[in-house]
Amino acid sequence: MTNYENLKTLALKAGFDDAGRLDVSKLEFLQDVRDMCAADKCHNFNRSWSCPPAAPSLEEMRDRVKKYSGGLLVQTVGHMEDSLDFEEMMAAAKRHSENFERLWDALAPDYPGIFPMGAGGCGKCQPCTYPDAPCRFPDKLAYSMEACGLFVSRVCTDNDMKYNHGKDTICYTACFLLE
């Protein structure tokens, strides 16, 4: 039986600021969220294997998560000097990405079927091989939660985790489906 307290400790050790159990049955894969990717605010739409339109369809996602009952939700929180503190926004995003890779490596030996979903598109290669050649590292490709159609703030509140950590903070969220 999975010990979520131990997993939370592992997540904090990897550098995350908060972590908690994710109830997979509460995940809703929403077309409206997926459609927001087309606005291309993060400049990954149609530029990466990890993002729409290359990312699996919502139907494929719903099918893929059927075998999981539990997972881990993790967050990195940045504390900005003010709402325009882009330096800290970028620094927190980088910390989140590093934490994500560290925890993925730590969990993978015990959970060979692990299904990670990150924040934002995959940034391993600059540039991504999309669409001219296959992904260079398909085993290390993580889709973003938004690309999967997940409304991240709702996923947090549905799992009793804060999404808004207060004034002048920025929160990056990711998850790992495990069981």
Q: Could you give the C-alpha distances from 95 to 46, 82, 99, 152, in angstroms and in order?
A: 25, 19, 6, 19
Q: Does 49 bind ligand SF4 (CB under 6 A)?
A: yes
Residue 55 is a binding residue for ligand SF4 (CB under 6 A): no
Is residue 141 a contact partner of residue 135, using CB atoms and an 8 Å limit? yes
| Residue 49 or 151 with smaller CB distance to ligand SF4 | 49
Q: Quote the Cα angle for 62-68-69, to 5°.
A: 115
- Amino acid found at 136: R
Nearer to ligand SF4, 8 or 34 (CB): 34
Q: Three-class SS of residue 17?
A: coil
8 A C-beta contact, residue 179 and residue 70 = yes
Of 102 and 124, which CB lies nearer to ligand SF4 in the complex structure?
Answer: 124
Smallest separation (angstroms) from ligand SF4 to the CB of 113: 20
> Which segment (3-11, 44-52, 67-75, 109-117) binds ligand SF4 by CB under 6 A?
44-52
* Measured distance CA(87)–CA(98) in Å, rounded: 17
> Binding pattern to ligand SF4, positions 107-146, x when CB under 6 A?
---------------x-xx--xxx----xxx---x-----
Strand arrangement of the beta sheet that strand 115-118 belongs to: 18-23, 70-79, 169-177, 115-118, 143-144
164: left (phi over 0), alpha (psi -120 to 50) or beta: beta
Does residue 171 interact with ligand SF4 by CB under 6 A? no
Residue 38 or 125 having the CB closest to ligand SF4: 125
Cβ closer to ligand SF4: 64 or 79?
A: 64
Beta carbon nearer to ligand SF4, 50 or 159: 50
**Least Å from the CB of residue 56 to ligand SF4:** 13
Count of residues that interact with ligand SF4, criterion CB under 6 A: 13
* Chain contacts with ligand SF4 (rule: CB under 6 A): 48-50, 122, 124-125, 128-130, 135-137, 141
